[in-house]
């Protein structure tokens, strides 16, 4: 397959100047590049203009020019003597509230060279987007949050470069998918209006800035593509997820639930897209739980009577899939009741320091030397989040005059382990009681979207159309939302007629 990535590297042989043809270096370059520009203008970056003269002469008029598609024009990102030119590298980044994942790609071959995950260093200022926005309003808060995001990304870049033996200045672009607040904080845009009714961001479409002005350690002129958002709470990560899943291209109706810190749900197909965000899902990402963690080696990703960890390592914590399965398994084994209350008569339970808890891995078998457990409060957090997610889907469907029966597939995105027992997700009422084959766990769809856009100009263009076509519902002003939410605070639900398979168990 021929890639048509957002950046491309063109090898050029340029006519050297003579007294009969004294056109400037820039004119000569434009002349040689013309067949590659599809009649669109070429604009220089400051960095590329500075490198141009020396590169042409050191390369003896054979150079590699790296171009980026910036919409109405091509941007000359860099120019190097042809014998010094590296493949152009690019980054696909999922800038999550809790975790950040970056993938280093060779955009010529499409090969992923390395991938890394890190906690977002902004966590020191608050676990969720609301506390981050509150911190941004303190003196110096916004600058500190911005710097923390940059530190996180630059550390990831350094790690990826070391692993893949690549120079960071050879990374010629980055595509970033994050929620609207994360994208604002990365650029130092004031997010305070997103927190207050009517929840308006500075922008939903971000200009294509240069890495150097943003503060990222890539090639100086590298363009930074931030995914377009639909609103303050339906962000670029949702757009990226829709892009990756092709929900907006297909006829069958789908629901996409992103169980990230910000818990967004989208209902739609190629005819319409409707989205809401419940500020829910962070518990399933491990936020606020004693033993929560991302799906990294040592994360308990499956729980039956026993558990299984990512990479088969000794356990260090529990990731999203493990949390869902744990709740389901506890309910199935009567370790917790339908309200989530821990039954202290059940095995592996105990009264912890202040509240009951359920031990999943005893200290002796963990990598951390302490019991890994779910506390009563953790369980309640998880139930609140699953209730918010379920209620969100219900509200979207009601607004569209539809039910779960109309939905061809439900895609669950999140930083999960490799697999997940669908049955348990339905058992706890996180997912509706529909035929199980309609449910898919798709992993990090935000990263997948960033990856797709990096490697395809058409995909990036489509992302802008998708973002513009989403109708956003604001749940806090949706009259039925509170009732739907309250009703879902049981396992699986107060209305068991919605979960016939639960009744038959």
Q: Which residues of this protein are in contact with its own copies, per CB under 8 A?
A: 17-19, 21-27, 41, 43-44, 46, 49-50, 52-54, 57, 72, 187-190, 192-193, 197-205, 207, 209, 213-214, 231-232, 472, 474, 477
**Which CB sits closer to its own copies, 120 or 471?**
471
Omega before 198 cis (within 30°)? yes
Residue 279 CB, nearest distance to its own copies (Å)? 17
Smaller CB distance to its own copies: residue 147 or 193?
193
By beta-carbon proximity to its own copies, the closer residue of 232 and 241 is 232
Which of 45/444 has CB closer to its own copies?
Answer: 45
Are the CB atoms for 412 and 431 separated by under 8 Å? yes
Residues 260, 414: contact at Cβ < 8 Å? yes
CA atoms within 13 A on the CB side of 81: 8
Minimum distance of its own copies from residue 198's CB (angstroms): 5
CB 177 within 8 A of CB 93: yes
What crossing angle do the helices spanning 141-164 and 129-136 adopt, rounded to 10°?
120
Give the separation between CA 351 and CA 331, rounded to whole angstroms: 18
The nearest distance, CB 463 to its own copies, in angstroms, is 17
- Least separation in angstroms between residue 309's CB and its own copies is 43
Return the SS3 of 300: strand
In the bound complex, what is the minimum distance in angstroms from residue 160's beta carbon to its own copies? 25
Minimum distance between the CB of residue 193 and its own copies, rounded to whole angstroms?
A: 6
Report the nearest approach of its own copies to the CB of residue 227 (Å). Answer: 14
Residue 232 or 432 with smaller CB distance to its own copies = 232
Nearer to its own copies, 189 or 216 (CB): 189
For 456-495, the DSSP string reads BHHHHHHHHHHHHHEEEP-GGG-TTHHHHHHHTSSSS-S-
Query: Taking CA 147 as the corner, what is the angle to CA 143 and CA 151, rounded to the nearest 5 degrees?
Result: 175
In sequence order, what are the residues at sequence separation of 6 or more whose Cβ sits closer than 8 angstroms to the Cβ of residue 134? 126, 195
Nearer to its own copies, 140 or 207 (CB): 207
In the block, which residue shows the tokens 């990090």? 444
Beta bridge partners of 277: 264
Given a contact cutoff of 8 angstroms between Cβ atoms, the answer to whether 192 and 137 are in contact is yes
């Amino acid at each position: 397959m021929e890639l048509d990535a957002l950046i491309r590297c063109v090898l050029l042989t340029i006519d050297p100047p003579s007294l009969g043809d004294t056109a400037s270096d820039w004119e000569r370059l434009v002349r040689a590049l013309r067949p590659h520009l599809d009649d669109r203008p070429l604009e220089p970056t400051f960095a590329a203009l500075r490198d141009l003269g020396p590169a042409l002469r050191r390369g003896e008029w054979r150079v590699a020019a790296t171009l980026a598609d910036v919409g109405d024009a091509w941007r000359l990102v860099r120019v190097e003597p042809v014998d010094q030119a590296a493949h152009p590298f690019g980054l696909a980044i999922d800038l999550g509230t809790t975790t950040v994942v970056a993938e280093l790609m060779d955009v010529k071959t499409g090969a992923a060279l390395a991938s890394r995950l890190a906690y977002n260093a902004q966590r020191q200022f608050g676990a969720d987007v609301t506390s981050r926005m509150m911190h941004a309003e303190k003196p110096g808060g916004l600058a500190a949050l911005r710097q923390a995001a940059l530190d996180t990304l630059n550390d990831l870049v350094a790690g990826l470069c070391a692993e893949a033996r690549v120079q960071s200045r050879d990374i010629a672009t980055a595509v970033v998918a994050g929620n609207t607040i994360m994208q604002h904080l990365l650029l130092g845009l004031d997010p305070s209006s997103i927190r207050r009714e009517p929840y308006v961001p500075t922008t939903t479409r971000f200009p294509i800035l240069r890495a150097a002005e943003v503060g990222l350690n890539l090639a100086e002129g590298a363009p930074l593509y931030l995914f377009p958002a639909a609103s303050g709470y339906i962000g670029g990560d949702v757009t990226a997820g829709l892009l990756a899943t092709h929900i907006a291209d297909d006829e069958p109706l789908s629901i996409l639930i992103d169980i990230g810190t910000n818990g967004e749900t989208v209902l739609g197909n190629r005819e319409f897209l409707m989205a809401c965000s419940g500020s829910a899902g962070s518990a399933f990402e491990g936020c606020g739980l004693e033993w929560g963690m991302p799906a990294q080696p040592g994360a308990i990703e499956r729980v039956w009577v026993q558990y299984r960890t990512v990479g088969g390592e000794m356990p260090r914590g529990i990731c999203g899939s493990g949390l869902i399965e744990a709740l389901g398994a506890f309910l199935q084994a009567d370790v917790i009741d339908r309200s989530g209350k821990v039954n202290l008569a059940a095995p592996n339970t105990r009264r912890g320091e202040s509240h009951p808890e359920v031990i999943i891995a005893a200290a002796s078998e963990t990598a951390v030397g302490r019991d890994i457990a779910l506390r009563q409060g953790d369980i309640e957090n998880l139930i609140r989040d699953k209730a918010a997610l379920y209620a969100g889907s219900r509200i979207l469907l009601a607004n569209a005059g539809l039910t779960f029966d109309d939905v061809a597939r439900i895609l669950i995105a999140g930083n999960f382990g490799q697999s997940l027992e669908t049955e348990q997700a339905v058992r706890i009422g996180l997912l509706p009681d529909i035929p199980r084959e309609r449910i898919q766990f798709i992993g990090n769809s935000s990263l997948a979207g960033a990856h797709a856009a990096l490697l395809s100009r058409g995909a990036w263009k489509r992302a802008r159309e998708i973002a513009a076509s989403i109708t956003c519902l604001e749940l806090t002003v949706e009259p039925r939302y509170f009732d739907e939410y309250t009703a879902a605070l049981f396992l699986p639900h107060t209305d068991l007629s919605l979960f016939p398979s639960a009744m038959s168990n």
